[in-house]
Structure 1
């Protein structure tokens, strides 16, 4: 497998990104961060009305464009109810299970921007009080947020400024091990965002002239289904989503190669495009796995559903325990970035 020596910078950038709370619907802070990063590279950007960011690198061919996308929004929650005991009932943002956030530290952001910390717990947590503590269902009725404030009823909570509709974000608990693993919530899809930002930086540093004008959409609504379905120029021919590869029983994806998706819940991705990515990986000695993600959808599939006449593809680093306590390895980051590096300099697929 090929390696890229800049992976330490990629890991550092991932740590910065996952440390910025950005549940879908509340992503301005992280978009500001990405915009500032690209501004320092003198890359032209603009924001769409949904709050996403589009960066453009001019290419030799201005009549046919490429677009790459990765999403910076994450799973999270929103306050559904202020309970009589001074705790909060949640409604989930994105597709995940309540058991995956049990015991997690969190932040509640009020409408005025004030931050309170808390812990997500079962109401029946104490085994000294609740006989069914282990058997009770982990669901919206039983789970609640214990706020780190002296509150015992709903009025005291409201006096802090906390209200229904306030966003709740989860502590990423990011850790980078000495042997190259990155453990954190929200590697989906901030690992891919970091890869794209490092890729843009590399292209600028090496003064590469791309064969086609290329847009990079940092989308902010992917977890709720529509992050990448707009702002696609009519010149765009190839649209590549860079998102996590899902790992589990029956999957070929791992944490050490780039995952190339053949099909997900939306159906097959463009066959010739997929073959082109495989050929580039083999030609450049890049470790890859082709896989199917049975319960998955991407910004590329959202763009197809929106009616865009494009060739669509999906690749990304392999992420273990997706939508829970995620982990990947620097080798997967390297292989993904290398494939993207050679893809951006290749000729378009003949369709």
Structure 2
């Protein structure tokens, strides 16, 4: 099986460059629809703004679905201070220190972008001393400093920036010669790229999956309500969410392997479907891990909690420093794609 990693990583980098913090995903969804259509897939946009691309299978009566979410972490303007600095609210999880000193854009309702940086209120040790500069980072002392000639709230308002505007961070995407992939928002744009590689594989090799397969790109997963249950095609009997697998202390996941989730903080995953994926991995020599996650959920568990009635699973590449400056390896990505392609060919 030939996974085209050059294509996959090119697609990933493309979508990294399209900002899509939760609630601001329309441009990324529209671009994904164009790209799926270019591969010959039928597409539809849900009322909630998610994307479904359909890969026709040999069996059209029984269907499956694979999801990835295009929404990422980010921020929203909460308050413009008297001095022109901006307080923000986080979109999604992560800690405030994770984006300290990161460059960013604030985008207003007209689509105008303004460059800035995320810095502590007491950033300078020359002014505040070491102790105050080391103070805890939280929503009261981490601010956005605009790269504009502003010195007051009125100056910022005059730019067209206001409460409710979106903020997105530089991703700093890098692929090393040793095969590591580093970036903000690998969660979950590396998974979006996997969907495109799966579609490309079947189309370029002129083969069909066993069952008609819906590739679903959700747009509110980081908010806890990614896939809407009433948007699922009625014949779907199994669903797999692709999401990142946290690597670290107390976890089994590896940056070089695909992880098959057994449980997250919301629910146990379907045991039969999980076992099917484990068997596929073992039969095809795919490096895999099984893991139990702590502070984690996926499109699959969010969907089940809405009352969806089908078997559900979650797989993903092992990722270090999740919801921070994330890193995985091309081997984990490749193992993930191989597992899903084999699954679609051997359901």
1:234 deviation in Å? 2.1
Aligned to 2:142: 143
- 1:260 corresponding residue in structure 2: 260
Paired residue for 1:38?
36
Q: How many residues align?
A: 345
Partner of 2:274: 274
On the 8 A contact 1:229/1:299 being kept in 2, the answer is no
Alpha-carbon shift at residue 127 of structure 1 (Å): 0.6
Contact 1:229 1:300 in 2 (8 A): no
Deviations 1:288-336 (A, max 9, x none): 0111111100000011101011100000111110000001111011100
**Preserved contact between residue 124 and residue 133 of structure 2 (Cα < 8 Å):** no
C-alpha distance in structure 1 between counterparts of 2:180 and 2:2, whole Å = 16
How many angstroms apart in 2 are the aligned matches of 1:101 and 1:225?
21
Measured at CA, do residues 5 and 275 of structure 1 come closer, stay the same or move farther in structure 2, by a change above 3 Å? closer
How much does 1:60 deviate? 2.3
Q: Is 1:196 paired with 2:174?
A: no
Give the match for residue 207 of structure 2.
Answer: 208
Counterparts of 2:192 and 2:223, CA distance in 1? 17
The one-character-per-residue Cα deviations of 1:143-188 (angstroms, maximum 9, x if unpaired) are 1100000000000000000000000001001111111111100000
Aligned counterpart, 2:317: 317
Deviation digits for residues 61-114 of structure 1, max 9, x if unmatched? 222210110001000000000100111000000011001011110000011000
The answer to whether the 8 Å contact 1:51/1:220 transfers is: yes
Please show how residues 222-301 of structure 1 align to structure 2 within 5 Å.
Answer: 222-230=221-229, 231-301=231-301
**CA deviation vs aligned residue, 1:99-146 (integer Å, no higher than 9, x gap):** 101111000001100000100000000111113333312011101100
Instruction: Give the 3-state SS of the residue equivalent to 2:34 in structure 1.
Output: helix
Aligned to 2:339: 339
Q: Is the 8 A contact 2:3 2:201 kept in 1?
A: no
Shift of 1:5: 4.7
Aligned to 1:303: 303
TM-score by length of 2: 0.97
Q: After superposition, where does 1:60-71 map in structure 2 within 5 Å?
A: 60-71=58-69
Q: Please, what is the CA RMSD of the aligned residues?
A: 1.0
Q: Runs of 5+ in structure 2 lacking a partner? A: none
1:6-45 aligned within 5 A: 6-45=4-43
Question: Which stretches in structure 1 are left out of the alignment for 5+ residues?
Answer: none
TM-score by length of 1: 0.96
Q: Return the alpha-carbon distance in structure 1 between the equivalents of residues 47 and 21 of structure 2.
A: 17
Please say if 1:154 is aligned against 2:137.
Answer: no
Instruction: Please report how far the alpha carbon of residue 4 of structure 1 lies from its aligned counterpart in structure 2 after TM superposition.
Output: 3.8
Return the offset for 1:34. Answer: 0.9
Correspondence for 2:172: 173
Question: By how many angstroms is 1:241 displaced?
Answer: 0.3
Contact 2:227-2:302 at 8 Å conserved across structures: yes
Q: Which residue of 98, 105, 117 corresponds with 2:96?
A: 98
Structure with more of its chain in helix, by fraction: 2
C-alpha contact (below 8 Å) 1:107/1:169 kept by paired residues: yes
Specify the SS of the correspondent of 1:343: helix
Q: Shift of residue 229 of structure 1? A: 3.2
- Take 1:209 and 1:31, find their aligned partners in 2: how far apart are those partners? 25
Q: Encode CA deviations 1:37-60: one digit per residue, 9 max, x unaligned.
A: 111112100101111100111222
Of 71, 82, 85, which aligns to 1:84?
82
